Structure 1
Amino acid sequence: MTSSLVRGRPRHATAHIRVRVAHALVGAVAGAGWLALPVLAAQEPATASPPRAAPAAPQDDESSAVDLILPVAVLGAAGVVAAYSYIRRGRRASGAASSLPAAPTPAGSDRRARAALVEADDSVRASEEELPFAAALLDERTLAPFRHAVHTARTELSAAFALWHRYEEGEPRDPGDRGQTLAGVVGRCAEAGRVLDARAGELDRLRRPEVGPALDVAEGAFRRLTARAAGARATVPELRERYGPAVGARAAGCAEEAMDRLVFATARLNEARRAADSGEKGRTVRQLRAAEGSVAQAGILVAGVDRTARRLGEAAALVSAALTGAEAVLAGARATGTPVPSGADDTLAAVRTELTAGPYDPLDALRRITRALVRLPGARSGVLDTAADLVARAAVGEAEDFVAVHRGAVGADPRSLLAAAVRTLAAPHPVEAAVLARRALELAERDVRAHGLPESDSLGTTGAVLGGVLLGEEPDGGPPVSFGGPETRGRFRTG
């Protein structure tokens, strides 16, 4: 039951107003009657004695009294009406004011912007993941509007992240301008979602008339990826032996998560095939879309292992040349009297020691070399520039993969830093981009730990929820995420 306070005024206050208005009306009528009594009494005819001629002066007084009755009555009534109207206006103004929504607080606007960024980023990522499966069934001309929608949404999202990054750094400083910045973040995210929502139904109409071909495509992608995942698992011991336990542990984690997603995809593909054989089109589509999302994430994880192995090999081939180039830069700085960063010599000496001490991470070695010399003239030339670019791309790629396959738990801050790293790398400022990407990865890993790692289950459902393949709204993990914005991406719900 709705409280009377929500409507703007307590009931007892309304009753008091009515009583006061009634009292005012009665008082006005009584006052007018009291003024009229003497005149009315003087005009009553005598019943006991015959009429006598009255003096002239009393007749003038009686006429004056009669003339006063109407003005006094009118004034009294006008006063009552004015008082009543004033009270009514006060009531209406009070009710209107209470019905207005409360102005958002800075903390509320901040939370809203964060949620909008996460939701828009999830929508763009899920839409990008579905396009390869659609491309296997549709020609490029038919698919072009959907690629354009994803590109437009990505552009709006990038602008929103840029606004948010400035806001996080304290710009602008004026509270009003900061509120406008947050409104701009939410508006950009809403536009990204709107663009994707507008195309979601059309993609369904093109993809879903016959689910059989789409199911064949997903099963083919699953089989190819299963073979690649086996190769990635075989790569892990080699990486551990060559580059040390830390590198091996990261690669092993990616390979294990890839297998978890493939287990989930196996179960959902089997369910989709059974549903298709039974003629249950809605259930087939739901299970198929879940399998597609899981296959896409397994592909990201397997590709991450392969890409890491390749970049580690490239980095190992560069370390010695980078050390020589760094020492030359330091010597040139000393020759010209340029201040040398503190600790630069120690960093280079430590890396040289690692080269002969056993397995080491060559990407980490290059990162330390390039970061130690970033402010010196010559640090952005030759082999050092190549090394900085390789390190930055590896760091951005690792952070990107982690966010993509754990988006069910990753918040706005690591996503914003990752977007900033991408912009900084394009500037190009590779050393700074690598720093931002590493920080983004640290925050994303923190968010996943705070969320809680999923308990292992035989069907891989908890991993799919953590990865954002499922929305987690129902006992079986919820609807699969599909192409679209916030209004449509979870449309394959049961019922």
Structure 2
Amino acid sequence: MTPTMTRGRLRCSKGHISVRVAHTLLGATAGVVWLVLPVMTTGTEATVPAVGATVPAVGAAPVAVAQEVPEEETSTADLVLPLIAAGAASALAAYAYLRRTRRRGAPAPPGRAPAGHTAAPPASGAEERSARSLVTADDCVRTSREELDFARGSLEAGPEVRTGEAVPGTAPAGPDRVEPFERAVEDAEGELAAAFGIRRRYDEGVPGEPAARRHALAGIDGRCAEAGRRLDERAGAFDALRALEGEGLYPALAFAEARFRELTGRTPAAEATLADLAVRFPPTARVTVTGNIEQAKDRLVFATTRLNQARQSADLGAPGRAAAHLRAAESAIAQAGVFLDAVHGLAARLGEAHDLLPDALAEAETAQGGAAGSAGAPAGKPGSGAARLDGVLKAIREELASGLYDPVDALRRVVRAAEPLEGGRDGARARAGLLLARGAVADADAFVATHRGAVGAEARTRLAEARRLLGAEPAAWLTADELARSASDLAEQDVLLHGNPAGEADLPGSGSAGAQLGGILLPGLPDTPAAFGGPDSRGRRAPHVPPA
């Protein structure tokens, strides 16, 4: 889903314009009326009640004052009151003119051209185009990194993987053969990170000038195009390195099958780990890996089918088709590994949080006592931040006593509640902040990697910023944690809105729907897996029709 990027835009209403016009007309009418009144009242013998007109000035309330005015003072009142009304009308007109002048000289809000200039075309099309560029470039980088890992593994595999499958005379490749492609992926990752940084600032309203914002969107497109170019220019050499349509096919197949068997063997252990977590922790502690085992099995089912088809195609003399099936199987195997790794990663994180929580609690209480002593105020003053911290610490200790609690969530609440206190740059709270940030980034990255066929640019942008903040100082780690969790929420919404990608040709239990959702198969290209390369080359592994 392409997220809407128009938040924060100022929507200018025409209502205030009509109000100013009405005010001006009302003031002018009042002036005319009071100019006419002296003519109408001249020559009368009776006293004339002077009624103060309602002046439409800012902050003025309608005041009606009736008093007896002697006849000889009528001429003075007739002169003063029209002058007041005329002055009010002039003030309103001047105020409206001043507002127009200030708006003309001030920077226009995003998406709106300054007065006196030709209005720029709506930026929504450019925003959506840059969002698509980010998604495509991110997919290209992720796929390229994924296939590079398989290429390195198959080229450097030991004899236990290659014997019996490799073509005689094929020697293991050294690291230097893979290094140029590693550099290409790293360069593309650098360009993509810069593009995400521009997009993050753009979403925050920086820059503010319409022309500068258009340049920023163009800069995003340019960075993404450069990332794709660096991968595209290496795609041909990468294919020559792998030689999947020649002597490299069987070694690559053997390595993929070995990885498949390894993950198949790990699946029961991951199931047991998840069952153990269900006994020790509440459902909220396991929500990030809910359904991971089932989705891992789904990817492995898809990989089984494609590995079999790859071998059949190779035996039938259709190496191009075999390479396409192998590439799809490799991607599915990689995603199955991500699902299983996430389960084991969560288990390790929960254990580390459980061990760290008592130290974080003690450190927070010590910092709280020091802050209260230095301020000379009681720590538990009602409504104070210290009182709120007291409540958080008390609630967490009660949860600890109950025995069933989410240690990661409890740790997050302790660190956030104690954030205003001194310290926290080292010690238990700092270790807790890093643990939380790394875990949240890992969860979000795993979800995007395995659902990239549906996740849009906004979630990926927040994830990229969270990943960047991991390398910053400890004060930024809580922000990284918050951004990564927000990225996960947005990614899940994208998947829900995307719906089931399965088509009519998708067979139940084949895993094709999950492969489309995971971006293993390219949208709009029938049965074509994503391969190493940029936008111009990633779809080159289209399956060929086998010879008759």
TM tier, smaller: 0.7 to 0.9
Shift in Å, 1:378 = 1.2
Counterpart of 1:446 in structure 2: which amino acid?
A: Q
The secondary structure found in structure 2 opposite 1:336 is helix
Aligned-partner Cα distance in 2 for 1:275–1:324: 63
| Aligned partners of 1:233 and 1:252 also within 8 Å | no
Aligned to 1:113: 130
The equivalent residue for 2:53 is none
Task: Note the alpha carbon deviations across 1:228-280, whole angstroms, 9 max, x for none.
Answer: 12211121110111112233454341121111111100010011111111111
**2:420 maps to what in 1?**
375
Alpha-carbon distance in 2 for matches of 1:167, 1:235: 42
- Cα distance, 1:372 vs structure 2: 1.3
CA contact (8 A) 2:138 2:192 kept: yes
Aligned pair partner of 1:142 in 154, 169, 177: 177
Q: CA deviation at 1:368?
A: 1.0
What corresponds to 2:202 in structure 1? 167
Counterparts of 2:147 and 2:268, CA distance in 1 = 24
Question: How far, CA to CA, are the matches of 2:387 and 2:483 in structure 1?
Answer: 22
Higher fraction of helix: 1
SS at 1:343 equivalent? helix
Letter in structure 1 aligned against 2:146: E
1:472, distance to aligned residue in structure 2 (A): 3.2
Contact 1:340–1:376, Cα closer than 8 Å, also in 2: no
Contact 1:258 1:302 in 2 (8 A): yes
Offset at residue 293 of structure 1 (A): 0.5
Calculate the TM-score normalised by the size of structure 2: 0.69
Q: In 2 relative to 1, CA 454–113 (structure 1 residues): closer, same or farther, beyond 3 Å?
A: closer
Structure of higher CA gyration radius: 1
Residue in structure 2 matching 1:434, options 465, 481, 484:
481
1:286–1:480 CA contact under 8 A, matched in 2: yes
The residue correspondences of 1:322-341 to structure 2 (distance < 5 A) are: 322-337=360-375, 340=385
Structure-2 separation of matches of 1:412 and 1:430: 22
Is residue 2:401 matched to residue 1:356? yes
Q: How big is the shift at 1:347?
A: 1.5
Matched, 1:481 2:498: no
Aligned 8 A contact 2:470 2:477 in 1: yes
What is the identity, as a one-letter code, of the residue corresponding to 2:135? V
Q: Give identity over the alignment, percent.
A: 48
Work out whether residues 367 and 421 of structure 2, in 8 Å CA contact, stay in contact via their aligned partners in 1. Answer: yes
Q: 1:203 to 1:103 in 2, by over 3 A?
A: farther
User: What is the TM-score when the length of structure 1 is the normalising length?
Assistant: 0.77
Aligned to 1:131: 148
Structure 1: how far apart are the matches of 2:523 and 2:130?
A: 22
- What is the rounded CA distance, in whole Å, between the counterparts of 2:444 and 2:363 in structure 1? 28
Matches within 5 A, 1:44-83: none
Which structure 1 residue ranges, 5 or more long, are not aligned?
A: 1-101
Q: 1:357 to 1:174 in 2, by over 3 A?
A: same
How far apart, CA to CA, are the structure 1 residues paired with 2:201 and 2:535?
Answer: 25
Residue 193 (structure 2) aligns with: 158
1:432 to 1:248, Cα distance in 2 relative to 1, 3 A: closer
Equivalences for 1:229-378 in 2 at 5 Å? 229-337=267-375, 340=385, 343-378=388-423
Deviation of the 1:454 alpha carbon: 5.4
Is the 2:285–2:408 Cα contact (8 Å) retained in structure 1? no
Q: Mean alpha-carbon deviation: is it higher for 289-298 or for 449-458?
A: 449-458
| Alpha-carbon distance in 2 for matches of 1:341, 1:179 | 47
| Structure 2 counterpart of 1:442, one-letter code | D
Q: Structure 2: state its 5+ residue gaps.
A: 1-118, 156-172, 378-383
Superposition deviation, residue 453 in structure 1: 4.3
Q: Say yes or no: does 1:452 pair with 2:469.
A: no
Q: CA RMSD in A?
A: 1.7
In the TM superposition, what whole-angstrom CA distance separates every residue of 1:280-318 from its partner, at most 9, and x where no partner exists? 111100100000000011111111111111111111011
Amino acid at match of 2:310: A
What is the CA–CA distance in structure 2 between the aligned matches of 1:425 and 1:203, rounded to whole Å?
A: 32
List per-residue Cα deviations over 1:388-437 (Å, max 9, x = no partner). 11111111110110011000000000000001111112112111110111
| Aligned pair partner of 2:450 in 405, 409, 413 | 405
CA distance, structure 2, for counterparts of residue 416 and residue 334 of structure 1: 40
8 Å contact from structure 2 (residues 470, 480) kept in 1: yes
Kept in 2: contact 1:117–1:157 (CA 8 A): yes
Matching of residue 467 in structure 1 with residue 467 in structure 2 = no
Mapped partners of 1:434, 1:342: distance in 2: 25
Does the Cα contact within 8 Å between 2:433 and 2:478 map onto a contact in 1?
yes
- Does the CA-based 8 Å contact 1:240-1:246 persist in structure 2? no
Match in the other structure for 2:229: 194
- 8 Å CA contact 1:268–1:290 kept in 2: the answer is yes
- Which AA in structure 2 matches 1:284? A
Which residue pairs with 2:109 in the alignment?
Answer: none
